[in-house]
């Protein structure tokens, strides 16, 4: 995968040839209870143009029906079947690890417990009930006592499944600790790691492609370490949108596995011609639109600012990625990331 690079000047839109959009939620469609600017209108326009939209989320605190209701409140037409959750992926893993109908210690909210019960398992919150496994997902109500019960149970050597290991989650007030921080707390206590169902694991993407019968999907995310790397592993072209967790600094430093196909300011860019990244023959100069960025030795400098910050980020990413040099060895012009 990686940024669209070319020595030609032809342009396409990110939606050319796409039959299904797979969109992350937090940081892409909404932050907390509020829609992100231009996201709803853009996704609605895609549907009107005949492109199906499905939603993939690592957030395990809500059910697919609750997520669909939230999205519908913005004016989108979304059914529970349109939402693929990390609890659904995690429970599929659980099915292969424990007997049918087993008792499972759940750390998490209704989004996780509902999927565990839907699969025919018995939910408990207590280690004393001798659960066959622990399954852990994010909920704002998870407490130290919940983590302690998981630790007690896991010391018996039973399977441990996590919905995801996102370190952070974007919410209305800013960026908050995510499920990865809670999983890390339990890991510190027990010395083992869980099997993970959600992004960046490939299974959740494969499940979404199968559910929506996608032939040419496009994934939209805001995190490189889960969204983009996961979709790249699944062989799905990616859009990184600058409305969530990872910004220009992270893009410039992205390793080969977590580089997106497209970089957008917001989702309006789905419908706009995407400018090619034109590299010089020695890969030391990148031009995107009117923005020109050059790398000389270990210095990355802006030659021409162009008409937009996003084009500078695209050009800077293109020339840094093409150089093969690690970001920590480069002196990068602050205008590329601030």
Residue 52 banded pLDDT, cuts 50, 70, 90 = very high
- Residue 221 near residue 231 (C-beta atoms within 8 A): yes
Average pLDDT over residues 17-21: 97
My answer on whether 126 and 171 are in the same domain is yes
User: Which whole-number Å values give the CA distances from 188 to 147, 166, 183, 184, in the listed order?
Assistant: 11, 16, 9, 6
* Domain end point (choices 254, 273, 292): 273
Residue 46, domain member (yes or no): yes
Range of the domain at 141: 86-196
| 256 and 311 together in one domain | no
Encoded tokens for 159 = 């399977």
pLDDT tens digits along 145-187 = 999 999 999 999 999 999 999 888 877 788 899 999 999 999 9
Chain segment 182-209, per-residue pLDDT in tens: 999 999 999 999 999 999 998 899 889 9
Residue 158 lies in a domain: yes
Residue 336 lies in a domain: yes
> What pTM value is reported for the model?
0.86
Q: Could you say which of 157, 179, 196 is where a domain stops?
A: 196
90 plus 183 within the same structural domain:
yes
Q: Which residues are 104's β-sheet partners?
A: 123, 133
Number of domains present in the structure of the chain: 3
8: confidence class by pLDDT, cuts 50, 70, 90:
very low
pLDDT value for 11: 66
Taking all residues of the chain, what is their mean pLDDT, rounded to a whole number?
94
CATH number of the domain encompassing residue 166: 3.40.50.1000
313 phi/psi in degrees, rounded to 5 = -65, -45
pLDDT bracket for residue 137 (50, 70, 90): very high
Query: Tokens 């099915």 identify what position?
Result: 95
Chain segment 84-118, per-residue pLDDT in tens: 999 999 999 999 999 999 999 999 999 999 999 99
> Which residues does the annotation mark as catalytic?
24, 26
Q: Are residues 230 and 217 in the same domain?
A: yes
75, part of any domain? no
Considering 223, 248, 273, which residue would you say is the last residue of a domain? Answer: 273
Instruction: Please write the tens of the pLDDT for every residue from 207-216.
Output: 899 999 999 9
Residue 119 CA to residue 135 CA, distance in Å, equals: 13
């Amino acid at each position: 995968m990686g940024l669209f690079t070319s020595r030609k000047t032809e342009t396409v839109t990110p939606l050319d040839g796409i039959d299904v959009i797979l969109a992350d939620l937090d940081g892409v469609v909404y932050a907390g209870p509020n829609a992100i600017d231009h996201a709803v209108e853009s996704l609605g326009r895609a549907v009107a143009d005949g492109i199906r939209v499905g939603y993939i989320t690592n957030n395990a605190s809500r059910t697919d029906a609750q997520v669909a209701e939230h999205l519908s409140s913005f004016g989108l037409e979304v059914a529970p079947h349109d939402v693929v959750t990390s609890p659904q992926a995690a429970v599929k893993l659980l099915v292969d690890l424990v007997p049918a109908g087993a008792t499972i210690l759940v750390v998490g909210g209704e989004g996780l417990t509902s999927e565990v019960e839907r699969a025919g398992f018995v939910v408990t919150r207590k280690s004393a009930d001798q659960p066959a496994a622990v399954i852990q997902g994010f909920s704002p109500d998870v407490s130290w006592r919940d983590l302690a019960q998981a630790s007690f149970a896991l010391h018996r050597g039973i399977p441990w499944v996590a919905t995801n290991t996102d370190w952070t989650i974007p919410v209305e007030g800013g960026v908050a600790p995510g499920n990865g921080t809670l999983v890390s707390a339990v890991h510190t206590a027990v010395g083992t790691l869980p099997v993970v169902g959600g992004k960046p694991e490939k299974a959740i993407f494969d499940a979404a492609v199968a559910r929506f019968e996608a032939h040419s999907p496009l994934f939209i995310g805001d995190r490189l370490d889960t969204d983009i790397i996961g979709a790249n592993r699944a062989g799905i072209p990616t859009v990184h949108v600058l409305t969530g967790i990872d910004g220009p600094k992270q893009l410039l430093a992205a390793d080969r596995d977590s580089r997106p196909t497209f970089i957008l300011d917001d989702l309006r860019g789905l419908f706009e011609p995407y400018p090619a990244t034109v590299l010089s023959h020695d890969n030391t100069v990148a031009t995107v639109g009117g923005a020109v960025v050059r790398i000389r030795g270990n210095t990355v400098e802006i030659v021409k600012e162009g008409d937009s910050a996003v084009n500078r980020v695209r050009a800077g990413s293109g020339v840094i990625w093409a150089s093969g040099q690690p970001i920590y060895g480069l002196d990068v012009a602050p205008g590329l990331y601030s």
